[in-house]
Amino acid sequence: MSKYLGIDASTQSMTALIIDVEESPCIAVEESVIFDDHFRDRYGVENGALDLGGGQVHSPPLMWVEALDLLLANLRDNGHDLARLRAIAGSGQQHGTVYLNQAAGPALARLDPSRRLSDQLAGVFSRPTSPIWMDTSTTAECRQIEAAAGGRLPLLKLTGNTAFERFSGPQIRKFSQSDPEGYSRTDNIGLVSSFVASLLAGRLVPVDAGDGSGTNLLDIRRRQWAPEALQATAPELARRLLPVTPSTRAIGEISTYFAQRYGFSPTCRIFPFSGDNPCSLIGLGLVEPGSVALSLGTSDTLFACMDQVRVSDSGEGAVFCSPDDINYMALICFLNGSLAREAVRDQYGLDWEQFAQALRDTPPGNGGALMLPYFAAEIVPHVPQPGVVRQNLDAADANANVRAVIEAQALSSRLHSAWMDVPVTSLSVTGGASANEEILRVYANVHGCPAHRFQTTNSAALGAALRAWHGCAGESGEKPMGWPETVEPFTRPQTTIQPDPAGSGVYSRMLAAYESLERRATAG
């Protein structure tokens, strides 16, 4: 058996990616289920999420359950022989929390392959919706956790992160305080990643260190829950969490539900699911310190591999464990990613080709026009209320607004990445918007380095599949594979956009103007 499956449960879709490493390693299959296409009416989601007001953004976990059944049914019905898969690993949008009652463990253990998963698991949630990373409603809880942990800096030192609104700990605290009865009915709290892994394993499985470090609850150096942080967050939290598992150790074999319903081999190994960004780190080949990547998704993230924990004192960056179980990753999350690009595209009634043409038709620097693209409250820089700012920019000029949003995103990524202390000598770009070469050109010029694009934009799902392959090789007693040799065949750039010296010069000068506009807008 030479095939490995990576599953990525992201905000707007669930994706399966199969690699075949038999002769010349390649990506054999990519399939996605877009949540809005199938579940908009039943669950009321828009872009995969529910806006509950007051900054609360949730998703229904039962929708993820249905999506998994649908995704695997599609793979089977499209003729892919799932019996040939040797192992599965996965990735989930980071930070989202899933609240399960005491029925969850027994229900997972006795799944009936003749019935749909969602019919059998509808009763296992102590909270029907899961707060996700887009939730910005937990500022008070962040400050309370920091205070209870002895202050902002002790929490930063222990967990690698100050308390962030989108992180799991503040979400859990908010639930325990606003619905103590629901919290007391909660037997287990998992992340999106561990929840989907639990479905496949047919039992509750732990959070891995990579995704666990996005909770404000993990001792980042020991890669274990930090009792002080648990205590600072919510009552009796330790008994609601399973011990953290290393990312590279298998958690067992696939549940008979999937073996019988979809034809997986009963010996198919399941490896822990990790966060989407930690998985992208692997999927983009960032397995040695110093390389930098950019993921242009619902949010945009800029991240790098580090061999030691280096934190952002200003609280703008996050640090996670790499799921290679060796390194760490530094990450900056800009919430207004696709969200802002799509807002501009829709405002001017453009399609993506017209959007790219607008970039071709406008010069680097945009004639001095600037935008701060806070279509939604922004994570970096911290902007608590939405509000788009334009300077020397005519709101009626579609082309200039297209260039302004992309230049703002690229300049902001340069401005806010200094704390990583990793020289940006090349950018590996992934995510849906990386298909657009004109966007890559702006980033190459702003950072003054080449931007590489790869065969797939599903780097999180690819990273998961690579983790499954690497994990099996480590287990089998065959010659263990190093990380560089695991990722190399899949991370050869397909397209490279070189920076153009004139364009780079324009942006070096423009950075100060952008910084000063940003400073004025965010002051106070």
**Cα distances (angstroms) measured from residue 273 to each of 32, 50, 159, 301, 461:** 17, 24, 20, 19, 10
To ligand XUL, the closest distance from the beta carbon of 461 in angstroms equals: 12
- Does the footprint of ligand XUL cover residue 188 (CB under 6 A)? no
To ligand XUL, the closest distance from the beta carbon of 361 in angstroms equals: 31
For residues 6 to 45, the per-residue mask of contacts with ligand XUL, x marking binding by CB under 6 A and - elsewhere, is ----xx----------------------------------
> 135 or 438, CB closer to ligand XUL?
135
To ligand XUL, the closest distance from the beta carbon of 168 in angstroms equals: 11
d(CA 262, CA 450) in angstroms, rounded, equals 43
d(CA 278, CA 238) in angstroms, rounded, equals 24
- Does the footprint of ligand XUL cover residue 491 (CB under 6 A)? no
Site for ligand XUL in 340-399 (CB under 6 A): none
To ligand XUL, the closest distance from the beta carbon of 474 in angstroms equals: 26
Site for ligand XUL in 152-181 (CB under 6 A): 166
Phi, psi (rounded to 5 degrees) for 127: -145, 120
- Pull the structure tokens for residue 205: 């499985």
Tokens 């949540």 appear where? 35
* DSSP run (H or E) holding 229: helix 227-233
Q: Which stretch binds ligand XUL (CB under 6 A): 15-23, 171-179, 275-283, 407-415?
A: 275-283
Site for ligand XUL in 69-98 (CB under 6 A): 93-95
Q: Which stretch binds ligand XUL (CB under 6 A): 197-205, 247-255, 274-282, 480-488?
A: 274-282
> 11 or 130, CB closer to ligand XUL?
11
To ligand XUL, the closest distance from the beta carbon of 375 in angstroms equals: 16
- Does the footprint of ligand XUL cover residue 330 (CB under 6 A)? no
Number of neighbours of residue 479 by Cβ within 10 angstroms? 7
- Does the footprint of ligand XUL cover residue 58 (CB under 6 A)? no
> 210 or 365, CB closer to ligand XUL?
210
**Cα distances (angstroms) measured from residue 113 to each of 19, 109, 119, 199:** 26, 12, 11, 13
Q: How many residues bind ligand XUL (CB under 6 A)?
A: 16
To ligand XUL, the closest distance from the beta carbon of 303 in angstroms equals: 9
Computed from CA positions of residues 164, 166, 169, 174, in that sequence, does the dihedral angle turn out positive or negative?
A: positive
- Does the footprint of ligand XUL cover residue 213 (CB under 6 A)? no
One residue of 133, 183, 273, 454 binding ligand XUL per CB under 6 A: 133
Contacts 24+ apart (CB under 8 A), 52-58: 52/129, 54/137, 55/135, 55/136, 55/137, 55/165, 55/377, 56/131, 56/135, 56/137, 57/131, 57/132, 57/134, 57/135, 57/136, 58/129, 58/130, 58/131, 58/132, 58/135
To ligand XUL, the closest distance from the beta carbon of 30 in angstroms equals: 18
- Does the footprint of ligand XUL cover residue 299 (CB under 6 A)? yes
Number of neighbours of residue 179 by Cβ within 10 angstroms? 15
> 303 or 454, CB closer to ligand XUL?
303
> 155 or 370, CB closer to ligand XUL?
155
> 11 or 176, CB closer to ligand XUL?
11
Tokens 């003749």 appear where? 114
d(CA 85, CA 16) in angstroms, rounded, equals 12
Q: Which stretch binds ligand XUL (CB under 6 A): 175-183, 234-242, 272-280, 392-400?
A: 272-280
To ligand XUL, the closest distance from the beta carbon of 53 in angstroms equals: 20
d(CA 461, CA 476) in angstroms, rounded, equals 23
d(CA 481, CA 473) in angstroms, rounded, equals 6
Tokens 């399966």 appear where? 16
Q: Which stretch binds ligand XUL (CB under 6 A): 269-277, 342-350, 425-433, 435-443?
A: 269-277
- Pull the structure tokens for residue 19: 């690699």
> 16 or 87, CB closer to ligand XUL?
16
Residues 6 or more apart whose Cβ sits within 8 Å of residue 43: 35, 50, 60, 62, 63
- Does the footprint of ligand XUL cover residue 303 (CB under 6 A)? no
Phi, psi (rounded to 5 degrees) for 484: -60, -40
d(CA 469, CA 463) in angstroms, rounded, equals 10
Binding site residues, ligand XUL, CB under 6 A: 10-11, 93-95, 133, 166, 214, 275-277, 299, 301, 318, 331, 333
